[in-house]
Amino acid sequence: MNLSVRVKDILNLFPDAEVSGSSQVEKISGIANLRDAKVGDLSFLGNSKYKNQVQHCRASVILLPQDYSAPPSQNQLFIKINKPSRGLAQLCELLEAKLCPPEKPGVHPTAFVEESAVLEPGVSIGAFTYLGKGAIIGSNGKIGTHCHIGRGSTVGDGSVLHPGVKLLSRCQIGKNVVLNAGVVIGSEGYGFDQTDEGHQKIPHLGIVVVEDGVEIGANTCIDRARFEKTKIGQGSKLDNLVQVGHNVQIGQNCLIVAQVGISGSVIMEDNVIVGGQAGFAGHLKVGKGAKIAGQAGITKDVEPGAFLKGNPALPFHLAQRIAVLQRKLPDLFNRFAQEKFRE
């Protein structure tokens, strides 16, 4: 990583930190893990299992938890803070502003903005982007290149749409939302009636509502509702390649990891965590605070606070016991065959 940030500026980020040691390096030129860091780099201890790597680390500056007691090496600076991982995030925010400065407000000459579209102060519109009739972009909104904002759609203040986002007609994006590259919001729901003549398409007339503070990963697709709305609740974070079906209701502060598939009309309450590649049958309710392990298959309603694993999903500890017993099956069958042979 090629960067340059003064050690003085890093220290200013953490005014309450406990600082020990010293470094002749005035500027940090990279960020690396404890094992690979070299002189001039910054590193950090975010997981206690890597604690023994600190004493061998060559980084010039290391972010550490407050309970770390060993002294720094020569020409090395230790910055002890409450949560090093969170501190690193603060530093990355500072660096992001340097490495990826925001676009200046304005509309790129190659963008096409319909006359009835509304752009509030501070908006930037990237090259080859289209804004449909009646679309509204809130103040300081950032719309990247090659985006499509459909007729009557709204984007709230401070929201960011990265390149290639497709926001189809009449959908509503809240404030400070991040839509990463290739996200599609408001695509047609998957619904067909089976007839003697074949599969009859059911038009979907609803919308998608994405509330404030939501972040959605690259190439995730969220289908519009059949009549009312598909909703992603405030503060929820969806990873890359997630499929959200029509009429799904996702609560606040949910975490949904990559390649999850959520069938139509699922209701997911607040603070649910879903591991990668999990799948949900339609018309289910997932209770508040439930945890779903990766690749789980959810075919029934989930109680609040439940922790499920497996396909079909079972309570986590039961699924773990079954997995252990499955590994013992070959030995069990061998023993059974030997006993049978002796008879």
The residues annotated with a catalytic role in the active site are 246
Which helix or strand (DSSP H or E) is residue 81 part of? strand 76-81
Alpha helices in 204-244 (DSSP H): none
Q: Is 170 within 8 Å of 152 (Cβ atoms)?
A: yes
What whole-number distance in Å separates Cα of residue 210 and Cα of residue 238?
11
Residue with structure tokens 């603070």? Answer: 271
Omega before 312 within 30 of 0, i.e. cis:
yes
Q: Is 296 within 8 Å of 280 (Cβ atoms)?
A: no
Residue with structure tokens 């002749």? Answer: 24
The dihedral built from the CA positions of residue 137, 110, 127 and 152, taken in this order, carries a sign that is: positive
User: What residues are paired with 268 via a beta bridge?
Assistant: 250, 286
Amino acid at 203: P
215 C-beta neighbours (distance < 10 Å), count:
17
Residue with structure tokens 């949560």? Answer: 83
Q: Distance of CA 278 to CAs 57, 106, 192, 338, Å?
A: 38, 41, 24, 40
What whole-number distance in Å separates Cα of residue 130 and Cα of residue 161?
13
CB under 8 A, 24+ apart: contacts of 164-168 = 168/224
DSSP secondary structure letter of residue 209: E
Q: Is 275 within 8 Å of 259 (Cβ atoms)?
A: no
What whole-number distance in Å separates Cα of residue 184 and Cα of residue 205?
16
Q: Is 21 within 8 Å of 76 (Cβ atoms)?
A: yes
Specify the 3-state DSSP secondary structure of 156. Answer: coil
